[in-house]
């Protein structure tokens, strides 16, 4: 199935399966692909973000289940609070899945990690489709679900081009300067390998 994704500036791209088939203006692509399904989004369409702190957020933090909010809160737990939980593989895997969902909700399509040594975390992340990219050493800054608030220069995935994997994000902002000001919490949609994996309701 062909799908055209377009933003408020009428910048658009065509997704076919896992790949980008074409890019251009909305007017051009609607004419070129008259049978494609059309999705229009508020804001700007950009390559997805790469979170530099994948290891810290997925393997060195616990993301509480919403049902645990009364006792554990909603923010990732680290350090002594994490150790006190004495997590088994089941809880590690569930935490990683929730962590990935929260990353996707901030426009992240890839996480930079040292080798993930926890098999439960590794398997859970692999099933989500989130890309893992290798890193050497610590990237600096502060681990944060919003990569734009981590204190290190933001890294975006490869530019969108015909034939490349369809990984991109839409932020509900006027332009890139407003995105830098308001942060990645403005994400309204994230697409990974052609699949809409997050949509703000």
Q: Chunked in runs of 10, what are the mean pLDDT values of the chain (201 residues)?
A: 96 96 97 97 96 96 96 96 96 97 97 91 92 90 96 90 94 96 97 95 83
> What is the tens place of the pLDDT at every residue in 141-166?
999 999 999 999 999 998 888 999 99
The H or E element that residue 14 is part of is strand 11-16
The torsion defined by the Cα of 109, 136, 120 and 146, in degrees rounded to 10, comes to -40
* pLDDT for 115: 83
CA distance readout (Å), 46 to 49, 57, 70:
9, 23, 36
Domain with CATH 2.30.40.10 in the chain: 2-47+157-199
CATH class of the domain whose range is 2-47+157-199? mainly beta
pLDDT at 158: 85
What pLDDT score was predicted for residue 150?
Answer: 95
Prediction pTM value: 0.94
């Amino acid at each position: 199935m062909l799908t055209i994704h377009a933003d408020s500036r009428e910048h658009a791209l065509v997704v076919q399966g896992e790949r980008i088939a074409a890019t251009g203006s909305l007017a051009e692509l609607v004419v070129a692909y008259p049978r494609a399904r059309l999705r229009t989004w508020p804001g700007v369409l950009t390559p997805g973000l790469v979170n530099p702190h994948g290891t810290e957020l997925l393997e060195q933090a616990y993301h509480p289940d919403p049902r645990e909010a009364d006792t554990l809160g909603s923010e990732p737990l680290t350090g002594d609070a994490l150790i006190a939980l004495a997590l088994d593989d089941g809880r590690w895997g569930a935490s990683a899945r929730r962590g990935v969902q929260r990353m996707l909700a901030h426009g992240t399509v890839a996480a930079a990690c040292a080798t993930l040594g926890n098999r439960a975390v590794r398997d859970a992340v692999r099933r989500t489709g989130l890309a893992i990219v290798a890193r050497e050493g610590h990237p600096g800054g502060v681990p944060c679900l919003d990569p734009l608030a981590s204190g290190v220069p933001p890294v975006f995935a490869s530019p969108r081009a015909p034939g490349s994997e369809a990984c991109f994000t839409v932020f509900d902002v006027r332009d890139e300067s407003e995105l830098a000001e308001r942060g990645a919490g403005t994400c309204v949609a994230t697409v990974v390998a052609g699949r809409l994996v997050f949509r703000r309701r």
